[in-house]
Amino acid sequence: MKQREGRPGQKKTSGPSGESRRDDRAGRPPKPVAQPAVTREAAVPAAVVRPLMIRSGERPVERVPVILESLGAGDFHLIDSGNGEKLEQYGPYRIIRPEAQALWRPSLAPQVWEKVDAAFTGDTDEEGAGRWRFPKEALGETWPLNLLGVDFLGRFTSFRHVGVFPEQIVHWRWMKEQVEKAGRPLKVLNLFGYTGVASLVAAAAGAEVTHVDASKKAIGWARENQALGRMEKLPIRWICEDAMKFILREERRGSQYDIILTDPPKFGRGPNGEVWHLFEHLPLMLDVCREILSPKAVGLVLTAYSIRASFYSIHELMRETMRGTGGVVESGELVIREAGTDGKTQGRALSTSLFSRWVPK
């Protein structure tokens, strides 16, 4: 699952991958139908099986607040925003989608906003379903896009998402640089991997990638993206499973990774009744992630969408989790800068999500 809250075609899943991100982390899945009641213990067996580790040592140095900003890349840029909406360019298409944080008025004239190829209408909530309106002509469900040299499919979903969370470009650039300069094949774990763009960027740079998402639909879409870019031979393992169950098993096996990306939803429900609540279960997820980081790990990256919290909440959690490892924990917000119709004229910054990242130095 941008596994954000409501990503396209995903079931709401537990600690693993259900869709929904941040927005923006492709139309996430419809709300789950009622399921048989389960006890809290049965819903989240991981919490019983694996208590939190008792950490000692100094906390990593902190760097706050950090604002990671993108002006766009490849086939994407943010044209303008305002009045609770954002105007974006995705390849050949100009698109309007809801954006609650765009509290100001648009900078560009109404005529610019009127010349769009698609606009999402319906519930503006992250999980709300709706439909796309095509003012000029009916468009197909998918269309080709490219970011950081990777080809993938954009898709008009019923949950306002389009198959990629472009604010993540800053993390993907960082990861790409780390992989390319490592001098050895890095092992990357992408939890809640959604449609696989990050996994493809890492593999194309030379990494060995394990991509985990609880949604079969999301995994299928990711494989489509891999085929579109003729990247079938790249070393990527596509795992359709609950993320928490997967990393607990990896911990027992002694598996290790050099870079871990995790983009969990605020709330999720897994295929077997597992329940995921970000504030309750994130500590365990990060704790296990630390245990499966390799001795020469390059980084642990966490993003959090659509939550009512300060970045300090995940920042301090990350520092506590990484006690005794040294390094630096940098936390803050991901923002996308308006770039105008030409993709170069800088305007206001639109905040998209919180993040925290541990790096060894």
pLDDT at 266: 86
Q: What mean pLDDT is predicted for residues 63-81?
A: 96
pLDDT at 52: 96
pLDDT at 123 exceeding the cut of 80: no
pLDDT at 277: 83
- The per-residue pLDDT for range 188-221, each reduced to its tens digit, is 999 999 999 999 999 999 999 999 998 899 999 9
pLDDT at 268: 74
- The per-residue pLDDT for range 294-327, each reduced to its tens digit, is 999 999 999 998 788 899 999 999 999 999 999 9
pLDDT at 32: 37
The token pair at 112 is: 């610019």
pLDDT at 129: 63
Residue tagged 């080709």 (tokens)? 144
With cut-offs at 50, 70 and 90, classify the pLDDT of residue 39: very low
pLDDT at 308: 83
Average pLDDT, the chain: 87
pLDDT at 122: 73
| Terminal-residue alpha carbon distance, the chain | 31
Beta bridge partners of 237: 210
Q: Residue 99 and residue 22: Cα distance in Å, rounded?
A: 11
Q: Residue 279 and residue 286: Cα distance in Å, rounded?
A: 12
Beta bridge partners of 187: 208
Contact indicator for 331, 66 with CB cutoff of 8 Å: yes
Q: Which DSSP string corresponds to 75-132?
A: TEEEEEEETTEEEEEETTEEEEEE-TT--S--SS-HHHHHS-SEEEEE--STT--EEE
pLDDT at 159: 83
Q: Which DSSP string corresponds to 227-260?
A: HHTT-TTS-EEEEES-HHHHHHHHHHHT--BSEE
Beta bridge partners of 40: none
- The per-residue pLDDT for range 240-279, each reduced to its tens digit, is 999 999 999 999 999 999 999 999 988 776 666 677 788 9
With cut-offs at 50, 70 and 90, classify the pLDDT of residue 110: very high
